[in-house]
C-alpha cells in the first residue's frame, strides 16, 4: 500500500487543481480600485421588474424591487452545498462597509453558520456600538444574474479580506403560483430572521476586476 501512496497523493492533488481552475472566474474587465467609506445605495423602483426562471424544471418568479449597490470588505464567505443548498442562492457573503471597517475588524470576530452571519467581541459592547455594527455589517444572499456564469464564479471566489462591490437588485422570490418564498430586507438596521439582503447580482467587482 505504501508504494501507491505517492501516486494517490498526485491524483488527489491534480483533482483539487482541476477543481480550482474550473472554479476560477475569467473574462473580467479592469476597473479602478475600490475605496471604503460609502454607505450602501438603495433606490426603490417605480414598479417592480420580474424575471421568470426555472430551477430543475420548476418555474419561479424573481421580483426586483430596489436597485442596490454595496461596497465593502468581505468578513465572511460561505458556499453551501448538500443540505444547505438553496434553489436560488448558495453563496452568502458577509460585508462590512463605511468609514470604520478597520475598527470593526479589530474589535469584532465575524463568522457564518447555517446561513446566518454572527459576530462577537471579547470586550463589553455598548448599545451604540451594537447599533453601529448592525447598520454597517450585512449578510448578502447572492443570486448571480441568469446567463452570467462568470458572475456566478466570481461571487463563489470571494474570500475574507477582499474588497468587493455588489450591484444589482433586492428581490422577492415567488413560486409558480406567486406565493412568496423569500423576501430581501430593505433596511440596514434590522436583525434576526429576514434581515439579510437577497441580491440579484448583475455586476460584481473584486479588487480591480469587474464582471458584468
Supply the pLDDT for residue 10: 44
Coil, strand, or helix at residue 202?
strand
Host domain of residue 78? 2-211
Q: How far apart are the first and last CA of the chain?
A: 50
Cell numbers for 98, please give them: 463605511
Q: What percent of the chain has pLDDT over 70?
A: 86
Asked if residues 76 and 93 have their Cβ atoms less than 8 Å apart, the reply is yes
Over its C-alpha atoms, the chain yields an Rg (Å, rounded) of 19
Asked if residues 169 and 142 have their Cβ atoms less than 8 Å apart, the reply is no
Closest CA to 195 of 143, 110, 137: 137
Given a cut of 70, is residue 92 above it in pLDDT?
yes
Supply the pLDDT for residue 26: 80
Cell numbers for 86, please give them: 438553496
- Compute the average pLDDT of residues 44-67: 93
Closest CA to 62 of 198, 203, 212: 198
- 24 vs 190 pLDDT, higher one: 190
* DSSP character at residue 4: G
Q: For the chain, list the strands marked E by DSSP.
A: 29-30, 41-55, 58-79, 91-96, 109-113, 116-120, 137-144, 163-174, 180-183, 197-206, 209-211
**Tally of domains within the chain:** 1
Closest CA to 76 of 120, 44, 39: 120
Cell numbers for 19, please give them: 477543481
Pairing of β 116-120 and β 197-206: unpaired
**Burial (CB count <10 Å: 0-12, 13-18, 19+), residue 21:** exposed
Asked if residues 69 and 165 have their Cβ atoms less than 8 Å apart, the reply is yes
Given a cut of 50, is residue 97 above it in pLDDT?
yes
Predicted confidence band at 82 (pLDDT cuts at 50, 70, 90)?
Answer: low
Amino acid at each position: 500500500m505504501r508504494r501507491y501512496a505517492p501516486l494517490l497523493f498526485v491524483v488527489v492533488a491534480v483533482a483539487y487543481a482541476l477543481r480550482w481552475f474550473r472554479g476560477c472566474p475569467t473574462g473580467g474587465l479592469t476597473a479602478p480600485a475600490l475605496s471604503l467609506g460609502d454607505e450602501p445605495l438603495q433606490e426603490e423602483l417605480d414598479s417592480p421588474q420580474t424575471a421568470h426562471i426555472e430551477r430543475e424544471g420548476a418555474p419561479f418568479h424573481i421580483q426586483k424591487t430596489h436597485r442596490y449597490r454595496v461596497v465593502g470588505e468581505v468578513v465572511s464567505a460561505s458556499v453551501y452545498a448538500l443540505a444547505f443548498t438553496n434553489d436560488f442562492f448558495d453563496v452568502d457573503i458577509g460585508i462590512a462597509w463605511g468609514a470604520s471597517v478597520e475598527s470593526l475588524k479589530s474589535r469584532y470576530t465575524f463568522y457564518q453558520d447555517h446561513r446566518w452571519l454572527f459576530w462577537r467581541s471579547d470586550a463589553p459592547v455598548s448599545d451604540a456600538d451594537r447599533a453601529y455594527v448592525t447598520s454597517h455589517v450585512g449578510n448578502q444572499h447572492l443570486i448571480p444574474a441568469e446567463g452570467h456564469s462568470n458572475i456566478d464564479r466570481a461571487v463563489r471566489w470571494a474570500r475574507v479580506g477582499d474588497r468587493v462591490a455588489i450591484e444589482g437588485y433586492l428581490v422577492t422570490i415567488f413560486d409558480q403560483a406567486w406565493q412568496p418564498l423569500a423576501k430581501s430586507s430593505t433596511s440596514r438596521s434590522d436583525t434576526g430572521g429576514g434581515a439579510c439582503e437577497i441580491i440579484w447580482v448583475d455586476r460584481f467587482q473584486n479588487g480591480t476586476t469587474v464582471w458584468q
